[in-house]
Amino acid sequence: MARTGKVMDRVRRVVDGAMILTSLLLIAGPMLLEGDRGTAALVGGTALVAGLSLIVLLLARRWPLVQYAPVAAAVLVAGVRFGREGSIGPGLTWLTIAVAAIILIRQFLGARTNQDLVRDLTRERAQLARQASRDPLTELGNRKLFMDHATDALADADDTMTAVILVDLDGFKEVNDTYGHATGDELLRAAAERLTANVRTNDTVSRLGGDEFVVLLPRLVDDQIADTVANRILRDLAQPLIIGDVVLTIPASAGIAITRGAGTAVDEVVREADLALYQAKAEGKGLARRFDPAQFAAAESRRREEADLRRALDAGEFEVHYQPIVDLEGEHTVGVEALVRWNHPERGMIPPIAFLDMAESLGLLPRLGGWVLEEACRQAAAWQEQNPGFELNVNLSASQLGNPDLVEEVRGVLDRTGLPPSLLVLELTESVALVDLVESARVLGALKTLGVRIALDDFGTGFSSLSHLGALPVDVVKIDKSFVQAMQEGSGASVAEAVLQIARTFKLAPVAEGVEDATQASRLRELECAQAQGYHFARPMPAGDLTDLLARQAALSS
């Protein structure tokens, strides 16, 4: 087609030149054809006409309409001569006929050219439309094609169902990294073929990008068909594939969303399928899961809470409350445990049990815990002025203990706040220490070189507590409240007594947690437990309230 177009273009140029030359001859006809000035004049005039023709052709490249000026002039000259003399000579007549014939030929060639141009444009437009709706690698439809087909399917659903299946290849990045992008491309093409082989002719398979595909199943009368198709696709994808010398499998996960009738937006159905795909991957990959509204609601709620928690940390909505630790002999406050609270602008004061696990999963506890440590140390340093020897207990989370910069951060907090290191007690639970016992022992040992003390919280509730006490550099054990509250039962006191005996054996300072009444406090005194904390003595309170409590105790003792 391109070669034919070039030939036609050359023919048109020749015809254009002939038309211009003939038109100029028609204008100069009286001089050239009648030969009034001899052969030399004829030759010179012909050369002049040829030169003018060349000039017109050159000018016509920039101004196309110039090529028609000689034709118009020729027609005008012929008309003037005919009007003046009543007739024209045979030479001019033939030249006029030649101009007319050439114009007709030019028109014919132009019409053919326009037809070819329209045909080429139509073909190119169709090719561009196909390229705009197709993925060049797999020849599947792309996102635009899927969205167009899904919109039409949902509008024409009547009382039938429409299903969308999102398919994501598991481990595709590793294939690219290990075997190269050429192998990855072959894997995608094979996946496209297997997807297409498992759907009906009126279904749509598209590649959304990367290793994510989507299948549209319109006009379903049974919702189980979508589950069957999804599982069939996953089984087929998991079959071994040979690419060169490499044998690969294409494990994948799928998320299914189904809607009945018209009226549902495409974006909503795709979002539901994406949530189902997320669920399938969370459950171990290689699975097909259908969208569950209840799970969606829970996931949405979780996402809102996570966003709210991040916002609260940036907005400074957290507070530190302090629960007194008392000397059981005189029941006066000798220290406090710092406990974080979330002062939510709408929900009010939120206890740590409602958000600490989420903060840990989001990786926010090192930041939040670091803020609690510095805030509590600054406040404790202020209390030292009126209460020398007043101790501060601060909890360490698993992520904080795993922070390689923890020791330097604690050192920096002590330097900035001026709190004596010996008055800071860092608490961690046995389960936190067990994440990596050897590493925990190393980090806690490094912390002790700063002069701080270490407490093991909820002592007695973990496994192999005795062996842990021998491995960890612990100074204080906090007896779990379950043992304290069980003392009123028949065998409860013996368990608490055994725990206290273990603490004495290892020369550790015991602190009983969760003391809720005078009877428990009295029994602990009988068992010679020196310190305790719990609602019987005081609930956690803001720093200002604790300052007032210390002032009242100081007034009573003076």
Residue 469's pLDDT is: 74
**Does residue 403 belong to any structural domain of this protein?**
yes
Residues 14 and 110 in one domain: yes
170 shares its domain with 121: no
CATH, residue 354 = 3.20.20.450
Are the beta carbons of 510 and 530 closer than 8 angstroms? yes
Among 130, 155, 186, the domain-final residue is: 130
Task: Tell me whether residue 466 is in a domain.
Answer: yes
Same domain, 38 and 122: yes
H/E segment holding residue 341: strand 332-344
Instruction: Return d(Cα 54, Cα 48) in angstroms, integer.
Output: 10
The answer to whether residue 303 is domain-embedded is no
334 and 408 housed in the same domain: yes
**Nearest in space to 158 (alpha carbons), one of 221, 203, 215, 225:** 221
Residue 300 counted as domain residue:
no
For residues 319 and 456, membership in a common domain is answered with yes
pLDDT at 512: 93
Report pTM: 0.61
Residue 279 maps to a domain: yes
- Domain hosting residue 369, numbered range: 313-557
Q: Residue 355: which of 373, 369, 335 has the closest Cα?
A: 369
User: Whose CA is closest to 355, among 367, 376, 374, 341?
Assistant: 341
SS3 state at 550? helix
Select from 294, 282, 220, 235 the least CA-distant residue to 255. 282
Examine the fold and report which residue of 130, 162, 185 is the final residue of a domain before the chain moves on.
Answer: 130
Domain count, the chain: 3
Q: Does residue 299 lie within any of the structural domains?
A: no
9 and 44 part of one domain? yes
pLDDT at 316: 94
437 and 335 part of one domain: yes
In a domain, 136, yes or no: no
- Residue 62: the pLDDT is 58
Residue 310: closest CA among 345, 270, 362, 261: 362
**Are 147 and 126 contained in the same domain?**
no
At residue 8, the pLDDT reads 56
According to the model, what pLDDT value does residue 100 have? 61
Among the three residues 223, 258, 291, which one is the final residue of a domain in this structure? Answer: 291
Exposure b/e, 192-230, CB count within 10 A at least 16 = b: bebbbebbeeebbbbbbeebbbbbbbbbbeeeeebbebb
In this predicted structure, what is the pLDDT of residue 129?
55
Residue 379's CB is within 10 A of a number of other CB atoms, namely: 20
Task: Give per-10-residue mean pLDDT for the chain (558 aa).
Answer: 55 59 56 49 49 55 56 56 56 60 60 58 60 85 93 90 95 89 92 94 93 96 95 94 86 94 90 92 89 83 92 96 94 94 95 93 93 97 92 94 94 97 93 81 95 88 64 89 78 74 88 92 91 95 95 83
Same domain, 508 and 545: yes
203 and 270 fall within a common domain:
yes
Same domain, 400 and 529: yes
The tokens of 173 are what?
């990045």
Same domain (yes/no): 113, 150: no
Residue 49: what pLDDT? 47
Which residues does residue 324 pair with via DSSP β-bridges, in sequence order?
336
Q: What are phi and psi of 287, to 5 degrees?
A: -125, 160
Residue 517 lies in a domain: yes
Give me the CATH number covering residue 286.
3.30.70.270
